[in-house]
Amino acid sequence: MSTTDVIRTAEPPVQEREKILLVDDSPANLFAIEAALDGLGQQLVLANSGMEALRRLLEDDFAAILLDVKMPEMDGFQTAELIRSRRRSQHTPILFLTAYRNDEHLFRGYDLGAVDFLFKPIVPEILRSKVAVFVEVSRNAALLRRQARILGKAEQKFRSLLEAAPDAMIISSGDGVINLVNSQVEVMFGFGRTELLGRNIQTLVPGWERLSAAGISPKVLPARRKDRTEFPAEISLSPLQTEEGLLVTSAVRDVTERKKAHDEIRDLNAKLELRVAERTLALQESNEALRQSNDDLNQFAYAASHDLQEPLRMVSLYTQLIQKEYAGKLGKQADQYISFIIDGAQRMESLLTDLLAYSQAGAPNREPAAAVDCALVLDSVVLNLKAAVEQAGAVVTWSGLPTIEAHEIRLVQLFQNLVGNAIKYRREDPPRIEITAEHLHPDWLFSVRDNGIGIKPEYVHQVFGIFKRLHGHRYPGTGIGLAICQRIVERYGGRIGVDSTPGEGSTFWFTLPATAVVLERELAGQAATS
């Protein structure tokens, strides 16, 4: 419902028929006036004394009062005085009816607020036209009063809306002269309301002019308080073209907190970015250092195992010569010692060979990766392990093996270690070894399943550690095979593990990406992480 609707229903409509009060002590006069005014179409209320007139005025409002001056008890002037003393009838026009034309008489009447005099004997036309004028005046006055009331209410409503606004509201002319502000302006800027009226809004918002030229979307500008301190304010303008020219409403919002939060977030972000950059750099540096020390370690392991092989071979060779030449000549004990030395030397030789293989498995591949058919790899593996396979009566089967991008020599090493172990760690029954692969995009998951002795659950993670062995001297070995497997798999970005049930068998599994080229190249420049 709009404002005007409310006012319309609250206000009674302007009456079509105005009421006119006739006061005369002579019924004949009353009758004559009534007859004269009949044609005007207004409602006439008759009173035959001042008292009666006052009583009528208590009950009603009148457009005009026709008042006979000469009346017994209370004359017209006395009556008029009482009429004027009441607020309700203070401004009701009074038309005196009198037979006297002297000045003193007239002055008294005008003093009492008479609007006019009518002299007896009354001329009906004059009476009618004068009363018609009063009725018109009264109507217009009522209309004006009503409009003033409506305007008053509308203005009140506008002001309370302005006050209720959460922002500081400033209404100014197009060039910034302040007309009206709400109390939030006083609170926000520290100026009294009256101090601001007539001043330019640029006192509060120095850049306002630029803003009004720039358009009406909200902008953040510095605003200035009375004490000349500044704060960031978001300002939205709404221009309104009125009859008196352009009026601009500026809504001002203090955005100190918002800006602070915004700045804090920005600072935090900047700090965060800096820290991320620092971390990344540190990580790159430590990666580089790691790569370096890994390379050093690999080179050391390679050199050590390689260089140790030569003197070891000498020890082994000459001990064997001693054994050949002096067997049975140096006594039983000496023969035993010599065979211990030979065993030890052989064991050390295989340790060095495996260590060499381990260090090489960690070194970058010199050749690029190429498509390798895993089924062909298994062919080679079985061929390499022919003696062991036959001796154990092992059955090695495989199916669904893919072609992947890798290095054949590494895959042979990997599968040979696993299949070799599966034969080595067998039970009484002939070993049955099954190799399968499953494509879990983008990786391949390979499984090497055996029916061997199995591994206790608490050891499944240890077996990949270098020199880690679970089954002691009953089985030959150095404890490096699975460490090599892990190195190879991880160089391609894969993972390796084992599921096992002691007494039933183990399934060694590992993943390899179908295309290892990119990773291998990347890794070639980085460190092997194992």
Q: Which residues contact 136 (CB under 8 A, 6 or more apart)?
A: none
Element (H, E) at 308: helix 256-326
User: Of 265-273, 312-320, 387-395, 469-477, which segment contacts ligand ADP by CB under 6 A?
Assistant: 469-477
- What is the residue type of 263? D
Check residue 415 for interaction with ligand ADP (CB under 6 A): no
In sequence order, the β-bridge partners of residue 116 are 95
Q: Which is nearer to ligand ADP, 8 or 471 (CB)?
A: 471
Check residue 478 for interaction with ligand ADP (CB under 6 A): yes
Count, residues in the chain:
530
User: Of 90-98, 119-127, 371-379, 468-476, which segment contacts ligand ADP by CB under 6 A?
Assistant: 468-476
Strand 230-242 and strand 245-254: pairing? antiparallel
Nearest approach in angstroms of CB 495 to ligand ADP is: 17
Q: Which is nearer to ligand ADP, 112 or 496 (CB)?
A: 496
Check residue 207 for interaction with ligand ADP (CB under 6 A): no
Check residue 201 for interaction with ligand ADP (CB under 6 A): no
Q: Which is nearer to ligand ADP, 19 or 424 (CB)?
A: 424
Burial class of residue 64 in the structure, from the number of CB atoms within 10 Å of its CB (0-12 exposed, 13-18 middle, 19+ buried):
buried
Among 21, 170, 435, 463, binds ligand ADP (CB under 6 A): 463
Burial class of residue 419 in the structure, from the number of CB atoms within 10 Å of its CB (0-12 exposed, 13-18 middle, 19+ buried):
buried
Beta carbons within 10 angstroms of residue 513's beta carbon: 19
Q: Which is nearer to ligand ADP, 330 or 466 (CB)?
A: 466
Nearest approach in angstroms of CB 504 to ligand ADP is: 10
Exposed e or buried b for every residue in 224-253, given b needs 16+ CB within 10 A?
beeeeeeebbbbebeeeeeeeeebbbbbbb
User: Of 10-18, 56-64, 357-365, 480-488, which segment contacts ligand ADP by CB under 6 A?
Assistant: 480-488
Footprint of ligand ADP on residues 490-529 (CB under 6 A)?
506
Q: Which is nearer to ligand ADP, 146 or 468 (CB)?
A: 468
Distances (CA, A) of 60 to 19, 67, 106, 140: 9, 16, 28, 18
Q: Maximum Cα–Cα distance for the chain, whole Å?
A: 183
Nearest approach in angstroms of CB 466 to ligand ADP is: 8
Q: Which is nearer to ligand ADP, 191 or 464 (CB)?
A: 464
Exposed e or buried b for every residue in 403-412, given b needs 16+ CB within 10 A?
ebbbbbbbbb
Q: Which is nearer to ligand ADP, 76 or 505 (CB)?
A: 505
Nearest to 233 by CA among 182, 295, 184, 176: 184
Among 42, 92, 298, 421, binds ligand ADP (CB under 6 A): 421
User: Of 92-100, 139-147, 336-344, 470-478, which segment contacts ligand ADP by CB under 6 A?
Assistant: 470-478
Tokens of 301: 């392991």
Q: Which is nearer to ligand ADP, 84 or 468 (CB)?
A: 468
Check residue 388 for interaction with ligand ADP (CB under 6 A): no
Footprint of ligand ADP on residues 430-459 (CB under 6 A)?
450, 452-455
Check residue 153 for interaction with ligand ADP (CB under 6 A): no
Burial class of residue 20 in the structure, from the number of CB atoms within 10 Å of its CB (0-12 exposed, 13-18 middle, 19+ buried):
buried
User: Of 41-49, 250-258, 421-429, 510-518, which segment contacts ligand ADP by CB under 6 A?
Assistant: 421-429
DSSP secondary structure of 102-145: -HHHHHHHHHTTEEEEEESSP-HHHHHHHHHHHHHHHHHHHHHH
Nearest approach in angstroms of CB 271 to ligand ADP is: 48
Check residue 37 for interaction with ligand ADP (CB under 6 A): no
User: Of 83-91, 231-239, 260-268, 414-422, which segment contacts ligand ADP by CB under 6 A?
Assistant: 414-422
- DSSP strands (E only) in 129-282: 168-173, 178-181, 219-224, 230-242, 245-254
Tokens of 253: 């919002």
| Binding-site ranges for ligand ADP (CB under 6 A) | 417, 421-422, 425, 450, 452-455, 463, 468-471, 477-483, 506
